[in-house]
Amino acid sequence: MVGIDVWNASVDFPIFDAKSRSLKKLALGKVGGKIGSEGRVPIIEALHDINISLRHGDRVGLVGHNGAGKSTLLRLLAGIYEPTRGSSRIVGKVAPVFDLGVGMDPEISGFENIMIRGLFLGMSRKEMEKRVDDIAEFTELGDYLSMPLRTYSTGMRVRLALGVVTSIDPEILLLDEGIGAVDAAFLEKARDRLNDLVKRSGILVFASHSDDFLVELCTTAIWMDEGQVKMHGSLRDVVTSYKGRDPYEHLSEATLERIGQPRVLSGNGGE
């Protein structure tokens, strides 16, 4: 059963400056006695007392200011950070899409990058070989795929990364914002594929500042503030209290149509 459970989890980052990361300091600190035991490594509490339980079918949007802990929370859910206090249990194949550039090698060709990325996301070589054509078609990169990645523009890299991620079948999909650098026509196409992918994956957690995307992909939302869950509820409620206005009010006609919601009369929400 696919699921994520997090109990009372905290994530503390030790901040080692050059001094405290050295053995000498540690040794001298011991000799000195008092300073060693008290002058401990300062920490940043990135996440504090998080309790989350997600099950198959959950579509969660993450909202919050910069530095509120959205990305850290995603990494906690991906299993990259294990909680320093509390505990977490993650069952299912995780596909994190945080930074689209990481894990891409600029010197090797697009095809080879597709392979490496797929392998990192837990696919086997055979499975990836089957998907390569599909990815090539989606990205519309054509002959560029056999050129080294350093010749690509930012948008082309995003296409490639999105192509790989959307072609695999993850059980838990974690998306961080940063899907900005693609052109409108491709975005339309990516949207369909993302929707499709979201339907296929068991759990989605999506951090974004874009109301459009959130409304379209998510049903519930978590509002992160200063490393804590400030609010957890339906997407509309959470976004309304986070932004101080109803997200549905500002959506374009086309988006509303896609999600099958009637237009909200102005002035209805948001005080």
Partner 1 sequence: MRDAWHHRELWAHLGWQDIKQRYRRSVIGPLWITISMGTTALALGLLYSQLFGQELDTFLPYVTAGFIIWNFILGVVSEGTDVFIANEGLIKHLPAPVTVHVLRMVWRQVLFFGHNLVVYFIVLAVFYPALTQPYSMVGDELNSHPGISWTMVLAIPAFALIVVNAVWVALLFGIISTRFRDIPPVIHSFINLIFFMTPIVWHVGVLNKVTGGSGEGNWKVLIAELNPLYHFVEIVRAPLLGHTQDWHHWVVVGGFTIVGWALALIAMRNYRARVSYWV
Which residues of this protein are in contact with partner 1, per CB under 8 A? 13-14, 16, 18, 21-24, 26, 75, 78-82, 84, 94, 96, 98-99, 102-103, 105, 107-108, 112, 115-116, 119-122, 124-125
Q: What span, in angstroms and rounded, lies between the C-alpha atoms of 242 and 224?
A: 10
Which residue, 129 or 140, is less far from partner 1 as judged by CB?
129
Q: Which of 159, 155, 174, 165 is nearest to 81 (CA)?
A: 174
Instruction: Name the phi and psi angles at 179, rounded to 5.
Output: -100, 30
Find the shortest distance in angstroms from Cβ 13 to partner 1.
6
- Kindly tell me the number of DSSP H helices and DSSP E strands found in the chain: 10, 9
Query: Cβ 108 to partner 1, closest distance in Å?
Result: 7
Based on CB atoms, which residue is closest to partner 1, 17 or 257?
17
Residue 50's Cβ-side half-sphere holds a number of Cα atoms within 13 Å equal to: 37
The closest of 172, 165, 159, 193 to 97, measured between CA atoms, is 165
Residue 28 or 259: the one with the smaller Cβ distance to partner 1 is 28
59 forms beta bridges with: 204
- Angle, helices 110-120 vs 125-139, to 10°: value is 130
Q: Which is nearer to partner 1, 60 or 94 (CB)?
A: 94
> Cβ of residue 90: shortest distance to partner 1, in angstroms?
9
DSSP letter assigned to residue 67: T
The residue (of 64 and 118) whose beta carbon lies closer to partner 1 is 118
Q: How far is residue 193's CA from residue 182's CA, in Å, rounded to a whole number?
A: 14
Least Å distance, CB 40 to partner 1, is 14
Q: How far is the CB of 23 from partner 1 (least distance, A)?
A: 5
Determine the Cα–Cα distance for residues 23 and 16; give it in Å rounded to an integer. 12
Shortest Å distance, C-beta 126 to partner 1: 9
Task: Please identify, using beta-carbon distances, which residue of 40 and 263 lies nearer to partner 1.
Answer: 40
Nearer to partner 1, 103 or 233 (CB): 103
Reported in sequence order, the residue ranges of 17-149 that DSSP labels E, i.e. its strands, are 43-55, 59-63, 85-91, 94-97
Q: Where do the DSSP E strands lie in the chain? A: 3-14, 43-55, 59-63, 85-91, 94-97, 172-176, 203-207, 220-225, 228-234
Task: Give least dist CB 103 to partner 1, A.
Answer: 6
Nearer to partner 1, 121 or 162 (CB): 121
Closest approach, Cβ 120 to partner 1, in A, equals 5
